[in-house]
Amino acid sequence: MPTAPEVAPPAQTPEHPHPHSHPHPHPVAGAATALLAAYTPPARFLGTPTRTLLTTGVHAEVPHDERPLPHRVTATLTAAHRAGVADPYVIGAVPFDHTAPAALTVPETSHTAPPLAADPLIALPTETPDATGWRIRPVPAPEEYRAGVAAAVDRMWRGDFSKVVLARTLELTAPAPLDLPAMLQRLARRDPAGYVFALPTAPGRTLIGASPELLVSRRGHKIVANPLAGSAPRSADLAEDVRRAAALLESAKDLHEHAVVVDGVHQALAAHCTELTVPARPTLVRTATMWHLSTTVTGTLTDPAVSALELACALHPTPAVCGTPTATAREVIRATEPFDRGFFTGVVGWGDAKGDGEWVVTIRCAEAGERSLRLYAGAGVVAASDPEAETAETGAKFRTFLNAVGATL
């Protein structure tokens, strides 16, 4: 039997109080799961490895105009403070297309608790999803997705670009209104150490998911980024699961794909840091359904006035969700994907007036309507990619959400 490979814990910022809260030196059992149980749309829920947040109401929305997003957020937080909001912060989602409107708000009321993973009650089983009679339509069809991957690989062999991330979707329709709180419970209990979210993006629309990938976090002058690239599906058989993990650590194709992403993150952050630590080789992180190559990058800011959101905007989109060179990859995505990504492969998180915050890559997610879900999954395509394997990888990534709603392909 193969030796179990080293698995890294999720990257996270040091535990520190959220605005409107106090440190939690002695976490109370049930505090985080109580917030999870209290979620009902259109509230905002965000669980990270450092905190659990549940907010209701909207004090202010971040406007959409020609100013850079960090400037708009700063102006909104400044106005909220002047209006009497103590330690205001924003929470919400930023789309893949940075020119499209974000869905960021200063909440009216906010509740915070320790991380879900620190709450022993998170291990309690959740109810099995009911068989709802889902109708599932893939967009594009799998054969069209494979053709798009093959066309991208051909262009890479001609030297046009070196990587692109191509996504596909599943459109699910239910005969009855969706139970979003139950979906969120199942997502959170399957991967409590990740980043779990349910955030309204428009009237009657909710972005819901469980992402394993931290784009960037900031506490004071210390920053952390955790790019993931290179994946393999988990197996229910322990020996096979370990074999897949070990093979991923030795895969030349996946290590190359990962190196491209880490180099992009390194270059983007180096301009803002006096110190930057980038491990030479990746480790592994696991979710309930996937293994991922992972590198935890840590740094010290040159200018402590640079906010977590400014860093997120400097990093977004990384080669992990777009490709490289970025402009060419965007063009390939627009020409190949027959849908608008919306908030998929954008950013979700929170940020306060001091510049601290956590911003997460929006993957393993769906956009929910009253009776519909659009699930998204993407795969990094490089010259060594096989269209069949990339289609299978996206299918494995869909399992995170399909399992949460009781649907099968």
Answer yes or no: 397 catalytic: no
Which one from 6, 171, 213, 310 is the annotated catalytic residue?
213
Which one from 163, 337, 390, 393 is the annotated catalytic residue?
163
Distance CA 387, CA 370 (A): 34
Answer yes or no: 213 catalytic: yes
Provide the residue type at 213 as one letter. E
Give the catalytic positions in this structure. Answer: 163, 213
